[in-house]
Amino acid sequence: MRWSRYFLFTTREVPADADVVSHQLMSRTGMIKKLAAGIYIYQPLGWRSLKKTIEIVRREMDEAGAIELAMPSIQPAVLWHETGRWEKYGKELLRIQDRHDREFCFGPTHEEVITDLVRGEIKSYRQLPVNLYQIQTKFRDEIRPRFGLMRGREFLMKDAYSFDVDRDGMGASYEAMRDAYQRIFEGCKLDFTVVEADSGTIGGEYSHEFMVLADTGESQVVSCPECNYAANVERAEASCEQADDEPAAEREELATPGAKTIDEVTALLDIDAAKLVKTLLYEADGEVVAVAVRGDHEVNEVKLQNHLAALQLHLAGDAAVEKATGAPVGFAGPVGLADGVRLISDRAIEGLCNFVVGANLADTHLGGVNWGRDAQPDAFVDLRVVAGGDACPRCGHALRETRGIETGHTFQLGALYSEPMGCTYTDGSGETHPMLMGCYGLGVGRTLAAAIEQNHDDDGIIWPLPLAPFEVLLASLNAKDDAVRGACDSLYESLCAVGVEVLYDDRDERPGVKFNDADLLGIPVRIVLGGRGLANGQAELSLRRDREKHDVALESVVERTTELLRELS
Ligand code: ATP
Ligand code: MG
């Protein structure tokens, strides 16, 4: 592609809302252009990389035996009523009406549509298993669309859905997809990890996330260097804590005037935060619930919401706290809560003795508190956020904490959708059963953005070869000089002739501009030719990754370039 004829305009300007590097660089390289919040035009350069990502995904999905189809973006509400998700999905679902006032949505995901299709076509166990996928545009009315393609409102997703007769079959389909995802991210040459995940609004029983590792990732991941346990912190299990072995002391009131925070209370009473129990009040679907965790631990709201099976969960307001505790905010505790306020405690404090809690009384705490005698929660459950340094729940080794970008998510759904939608098959003896499903999402645009988050420097993108919009950037340093132009033209044609994807910077620009743009675009191999090089019969080859320059005889450039590309692939 000759740059002078291409639709490619780089800029130094960074959009005001571009907080992350992939968004900045995709905008500056002219890969994407914002049309509205979270809605982007994929400009030609961006579309080339997206198509490459799509092709890697498609290759591995086909290889794994999944079958491609294409479903509509617009979906009728009636299907969503069947699963109850029309109400449950909330504001991320873009709801629309046609001229007859019939309700539709712009699909954020396609479980309902695919289940409707399969229940109509498949009747017998003989026709199963089947795994169908598409690569298609989704719309989610994200509350905070940001980070460019990383969290758009309109975005490209690969979504696959498997249907099986039994759990073994579902497990095998799931494993096949996990392997395919593994190969996809390897194929993209990205550094990634697979973690146990929470199932979120899609629901289901068993799920994994594929995380591209990057310091700028929104997700926190803990992993065990010893036994390979890895999980999203939303989901990561805490290991069991040891029990204190002390005789129970007398309970006593402790004056803590003005001390509300953990730091203030521990400093004033000269105790360890691990001996303090903090009590937080939440509102779960309208019910006020008290939640107790160790002073140095944090409540994991995803775990809490799952435990309570609540649709809505948030911290209770001051008035609700005062009503439940009879005290101003900051002195809540498990002893003497108002009637009807449920108390749930984190498992880590089950074995604690003689601990300190808020007294439900202004400026006061209680010391020497013990479970059973002074208070008793409804349940001890794992409710805390696991962090780096905590013990691995499998082997006890210290966990490591990293950040990642969730680019793929796989779920075992079981009969979650097939049961309410009547997606059944008949077995050998004529009995009907719901099919067991899996669903597998992969964000195409997010994968590309994650690749940039992981592979860039101060000057621009450093594309892994499989995702690069072009393999080679050829820059002529004196485009006006006939001899140089002629030599570059002929190099360009020779490279194209052997199937190399070349962006040929034939613009009439100063070398400095061309070098800066080359660094910004991050195309893996760079070939530079100017008057001096031509006089010596040499071009300069370099890799974007290390920028080390090598002079190569003109007649060997094509051969050396194809060698380099082989090494990079
Ligand atoms: P998140 O927690 O980031 O909102 P999710 O759990 O809602 O993600 P899924 O419903 O599992 O995501 O969607 C499958 C994949 O689609 C995700 O792994 C991600 O790669 C991609 N994806 C989800 N939401 C967006 C978005 N707003 N913009 C771009 N890609 C997205
Ligand atoms: Mg989401």
Asked if residue 125 lies in contact with residue 100, where contact means CB atoms within 8 angstroms, the answer is: no
Question: Which DSSP letter does residue 124 get?
Answer: B
What is the helix (H) or strand (E) element at residue 531, kind and residue range? Answer: helix 531-536
Residue with CA at minimum distance from ligand 1 atom 22: 443
Query: How far does the centroid of ligand 1 lie from the alpha carbon of residue 239, in Å?
Result: 29
Residue with CA at minimum distance from ligand 1 atom 8: 406
Instruction: Using DSSP bridges, classify how beta strands 39-42 and 103-106 pair: parallel, antiparallel or unpaired.
Output: unpaired
Query: How far does the centroid of ligand 1 lie from the alpha carbon of residue 156, in Å?
Result: 10
- In whole angstroms, what is the distance from residue 283 CA to residue 243 CA? 30
Residue with CA at minimum distance from ligand 1 atom 24: 151
Residues in the chain: 569
240 to 225, 290, 349, 394, 465: CA distances (angstroms):
19, 22, 10, 10, 45
Provide the residue type at 288 as one letter: V
Task: Give the strands of the sheet with 252-255, arranged side by side.
Answer: 252-255, 364-369, 355-358
Q: How many CB atoms lie within 10 A of CB 376?
A: 11
Asked if residue 471 lies in contact with residue 465, where contact means CB atoms within 8 angstroms, the answer is: yes
Asked if residue 33 lies in contact with residue 41, where contact means CB atoms within 8 angstroms, the answer is: yes
492 to 4, 488, 541: CA distances (angstroms):
14, 6, 14
Q: Provide the 3-class DSSP secondary structure of residue 83.
A: helix
Query: Which stretches does DSSP call E strand in 169-315?
Result: 192-196, 206-213, 219-223, 230-232, 252-255, 277-284, 287-294, 313-315
Question: Which pLDDT does position 200 carry in this prediction?
Answer: 58
Kindly report, residue by residue over 298-344, the tens digit of the pLDDT. Answer: 999 999 998 999 988 999 999 999 999 999 999 999 999 999 999 99
The residue among 255, 348, 229 whose CA lies nearest residue 296 is: 348
Q: Measure CA 497 to chain center.
A: 40
Paired residues of 288 in beta bridges: 283
Residue with CA at minimum distance from ligand 1 atom 2: 406
Query: How far does the centroid of ligand 1 lie from the alpha carbon of residue 131, in Å?
Result: 20
Query: How far does the centroid of ligand 1 lie from the alpha carbon of residue 152, in Å?
Result: 9
Q: What ligand 1 atom has the least distance to the C-alpha of 447?
A: 20
Asked if residue 394 lies in contact with residue 365, where contact means CB atoms within 8 angstroms, the answer is: no
Question: Which pLDDT does position 304 carry in this prediction?
Answer: 95
Question: Which ligand ends up closest to the CA of 108?
Answer: 1
Cβ-based neighbours of 551, under 8 Å, separated by 6 or more: 533, 536, 538, 539, 540, 541
The residue among 351, 334, 356, 335 whose CA lies nearest residue 271 is: 356
Residue with CA at minimum distance from ligand 1 atom 26: 151
Cβ-based neighbours of 107, under 8 Å, separated by 6 or more: 71, 72, 73, 74, 75, 113, 138, 139
Question: Which pLDDT does position 260 carry in this prediction?
Answer: 87
Q: Probe ligand 1: pick from 93, 94, 157, max atoms within 8 Å of CB? A: 157
Q: Probe ligand 1: pick from 54, 88, 92, 155, max atoms within 8 Å of CB? A: 155
Question: Which ligand ends up closest to the CA of 159?
Answer: 1
- In whole angstroms, what is the distance from residue 397 CA to residue 391 CA? 5
Task: Give the strands of the sheet with 313-315, arranged side by side.
Answer: 313-315, 277-284, 287-294, 342-346, 379-381
Instruction: Using DSSP bridges, classify how beta strands 230-232 and 252-255 pair: parallel, antiparallel or unpaired.
Output: unpaired
Q: How many CB atoms lie within 10 A of CB 98?
A: 10
Question: Which ligand ends up closest to the CA of 145?
Answer: 1
Cβ-based neighbours of 483, under 8 Å, separated by 6 or more: 531, 534
- In whole angstroms, what is the distance from residue 213 CA to residue 453 CA? 9
| Phi and psi angles of residue 201, each rounded to the nearest 5 degrees, phi first | -75, -20
Q: What ligand 1 atom has the least distance to the C-alpha of 200?
A: 6
Q: Measure CA 7 to chain center.
A: 31
Q: Probe ligand 1: pick from 409, 444, 447, 453, max atoms within 8 Å of CB? A: 409
- In whole angstroms, what is the distance from residue 213 CA to residue 221 CA? 9
Asked if residue 411 lies in contact with residue 178, where contact means CB atoms within 8 angstroms, the answer is: no
Question: Which ligand ends up closest to the CA of 232?
Answer: 1
Q: How many CB atoms lie within 10 A of CB 115?
A: 26
Give the residues surrounding ligand 1 with Cβ less than 6 Å away: 109, 140, 142, 151-152, 155, 157, 200, 202, 406-409, 441-443, 445-446
Question: Which ligand ends up closest to the CA of 200?
Answer: 1
Q: Probe ligand 1: pick from 32, 403, 406, 452, max atoms within 8 Å of CB? A: 406
Query: How far does the centroid of ligand 1 lie from the alpha carbon of residue 408, in Å?
Result: 8
Q: What ligand 1 atom has the least distance to the C-alpha of 109?
A: 10
Q: Probe ligand 1: pick from 39, 50, 151, max atoms within 8 Å of CB? A: 151
Alpha helices, DSSP H only, in 235-316?
262-269, 301-308
- In whole angstroms, what is the distance from residue 153 CA to residue 175 CA? 30
194 to 125, 178, 213, 385, 425: CA distances (angstroms):
32, 9, 10, 19, 33
Query: How far does the centroid of ligand 2 lie from the alpha carbon of residue 21, in Å?
Result: 21
- In whole angstroms, what is the distance from residue 175 CA to residue 192 CA? 18
Q: What ligand 1 atom has the least distance to the C-alpha of 407?
A: 20
Query: How far does the centroid of ligand 2 lie from the alpha carbon of residue 144, in Å?
Result: 11
Question: Which ligand ends up closest to the CA of 156?
Answer: 1
Q: What ligand 1 atom has the least distance to the C-alpha of 151?
A: 28
Asked if residue 145 lies in contact with residue 38, where contact means CB atoms within 8 angstroms, the answer is: yes
Q: How many CB atoms lie within 10 A of CB 12?
A: 7
Residue with CA at minimum distance from ligand 1 atom 25: 151
Q: What ligand 1 atom has the least distance to the C-alpha of 153?
A: 27
Please give the average pLDDT of every successive group of 10 residues along the chain, which has 569 residues.
98 92 97 96 98 98 98 98 93 97 98 98 98 98 91 97 97 96 98 82 73 91 89 87 85 93 94 95 95 96 92 93 94 94 95 95 95 95 93 92 95 95 97 98 98 97 98 93 96 98 97 97 98 96 97 98 96
Question: Which ligand ends up closest to the CA of 154?
Answer: 1
Q: Probe ligand 1: pick from 446, 448, 453, max atoms within 8 Å of CB? A: 446
Residue with CA at minimum distance from ligand 1 atom 28: 151
Question: Which pLDDT does position 199 carry in this prediction?
Answer: 63
Query: How far does the centroid of ligand 2 lie from the alpha carbon of residue 208, in Å?
Result: 15
| Phi and psi angles of residue 138, each rounded to the nearest 5 degrees, phi first | -110, 160
Residue with CA at minimum distance from ligand 1 atom 27: 151
The residue among 522, 470, 526 whose CA lies nearest residue 500 is: 470
Alpha helices, DSSP H only, in 213-317?
262-269, 301-308
Residue with CA at minimum distance from ligand 1 atom 13: 441
Pull the structure tokens for residue 231.
Answer: 């999980």
